[in-house]
Every structure is written in C-alpha cells, then in structure tokens.
C-alpha cells in the first residue's frame, strides 16, 4: 500500500544546530514534493517545492533534497532558532482512486531550545 | 500576499444539523480544496475544485458536499452533522492548470465540534 512516513513525531534540538527532518514514501512516484510549516491553531504555510528532476533546493536557512531512488526527502534547517519550533509537513502528488491528489505526511514537531 | 479566509474559527453544532463552512480566497486562484486534520491521521482531502461549478471527490468525501458558484468561494456542507465529523477543517487554494505543481495557500481553519 502507499505510505508517507516522517521520521519521528517529535525532534528536539539546541539552538544553533542543524535540524534534519526526513520524509520517506513507498509505492509512489511523485513528480513534486512540498514542505510546509504549521504552527498550533494555524493552517500550514508553504515553504519549498522540489521537482523530481531537482536534487536539491535552498531558501535562506532551509534546504530540501529529493532522492527518487531512495524515495526520500530530507529537510534541513541550519542555525536553528527557537522561532523555528513548529510542525513540519511533507506532501507529495500521487495518483489514487480519487485522481491526482496532494497527500500529506503526519508531520514532525520540531522543538528548538535556547 | 494570498489570503484565504474561513468564515469561522470555532463552530459548535448539534448532531443532525446541516452545517456550512465557507472559504474565500482573494488571489483569483483556479483550484480550491477542503481538508480535515485529526490527531494521528494528519491532513486528509475531502473535496477539491479546479474551476467554478466543478468539483472532485478526495479521499474521504462521505458525509460531505461542496459548492463553488463563484471562483473565489468554496463551501463545504455537512448534510447531517455527526460526532465523527468533529475536526479541524482547512481550506486551501492554488494557482495554475495543474493541481499540485504550485503551493497550496491555507486558511487558518475552522474547528468544528459536533455534540
């Protein structure tokens, strides 16, 4: 069956370190992979989109990689800050019985302590 | 900045009531979506629309219907609310011909409680 897994429900790191979040998928062949940030009580906010033919994408302190052989995306936040504490969601476009849909992982909650 | 506005942040309804959740976007986006978000289950797609008066079922459409009479407005309707529809409902919009090669812009959600 098709599945998206984000490495852990929670990740705790110290300020200044690099946070690395993992998104693994099975039985999909997505053309796009997106990452979102969600704060408590708010809707998700788009961060980055990477295409299957791109290996890496960067935006300020954020970096995303997309390895279609490993079926994995890594999301890095360098020089992390307490303000980066949030839940991060990955999302893939997939074909399912409803047609093409954007399927979300359950998220990883990142806590950055000072 | 794209703004997606959901009419209510919190809503409490009784079992059997007909419930309308309204969503408006201000960026002339073609595509609009309704998701629900539950602890442990993540975001699940209920319905989406890629044009006025067009609608497509997502993964969990049962018990819901939608209406898109104007491009900027997408309504989710619970025909007869049940307690298992207690959830956070999120509306989103996106631009472009293809549904998923551009970012989704989400509203801040409506937390619906059905008692």
Residue B44 pLDDT > 90:
yes
> What value, to the nearest 5°, has the Cα angle with vertex A78 and ends A22 and A26?
10
C-alpha to C-alpha distance for A14 and A8, rounded to whole angstroms = 17
The whole-chain average pLDDT of chain B stands at: 93
Select the more confidently predicted residue: B18 or A7.
B18
Average pLDDT for A82-109: 85
DSSP conformation class of A12: E
Helix, strand, coil share (%) of chain B residues, nearest 5: 5, 50, 45
Q: Best mutation site among A33, A43, A92 for testing chain B: the one with the most B CBs within 10 Å? A: A43
Residues from chain A that touch B101, judged by Cβ atoms under 8 A, are 31-32, 49, 51, 93
Average pLDDT for B40-69: 92
Q: Nearest C-alpha of chain B: how many angstroms from A35?
A: 9
Per-residue confidence (pLDDT) for residue B97, from 0 to 100: 64
Does B104 sit within 8 Å of A93, measured CB to CB? no
Residues from chain A that touch B106, judged by Cβ atoms under 8 A, are 43-45
Q: How confident is the model at residue A8 (pLDDT cuts 50, 70, 90)?
A: confident
Share of chain A above pLDDT 90, in %: 71
Nearest-CA residue of chain B relative to A4? B42
Average pLDDT for B84-98: 90
Give domain limits for chain B.
4-114
C-alpha to C-alpha distance for A47 and A44, rounded to whole angstroms = 9
pLDDT 10s digits, A16-39: 999 999 999 988 888 889 999 999
**Superfamily per CATH, domain B4-114:** Immunoglobulins (2.60.40.10)
| Tokens at A112, concatenated | 């950055």
CATH 2.60.40.10 is the classification of domain A3-113: yes
pLDDT 10s digits, A29-73: 888 899 999 999 999 999 999 998 898 999 999 999 999 999 999
Average pLDDT for B15-27: 97
Average pLDDT for A82-93: 95
């Amino acid at each position: 069956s098709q599945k998206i897994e984000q490495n852990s429900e929670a990740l705790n790191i110290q300020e200044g370190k690099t946070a690395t979040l993992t998104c693994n998928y099975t039985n999909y062949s997505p053309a796009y992979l997106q990452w979102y940030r969600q704060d408590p009580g708010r809707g998700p906010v788009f961060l980055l989109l990477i295409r299957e033919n791109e290996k890496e994408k960067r935006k300020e302190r954020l970096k995303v990689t997309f390895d279609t052989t490993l079926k994995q995306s890594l999301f890095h936040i360098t020089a992390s800050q307490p303000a980066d504490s949030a839940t991060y969601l990955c999302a893939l476009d997939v074909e399912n019985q409803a047609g093409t849909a954007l399927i979300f992982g359950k998220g990883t909650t990142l806590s950055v302590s000072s | 900045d794209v703004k997606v506005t959901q009419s209510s942040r919190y809503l409490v309804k009784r079992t059997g009531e007909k419930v309308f959740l309204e969503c408006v976007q201000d960026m002339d986006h073609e595509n609009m979506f309704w998701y629900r978000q539950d602890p442990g289950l993540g975001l699940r797609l209920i319905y989406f629309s890629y044009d006025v008066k067009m609608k497509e079922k997502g993964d969990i459409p049962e018990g819901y219907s939608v209406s898109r009479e104007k491009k900027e407005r997408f309504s989710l309707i619970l025909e007869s609310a049940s307690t298992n529809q207690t959830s956070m409902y999120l509306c989103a919009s996106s631009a472009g011909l293809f549904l998923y090669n551009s970012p989704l812009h989400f509203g801040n959600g409506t937390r619906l409680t059905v008692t």
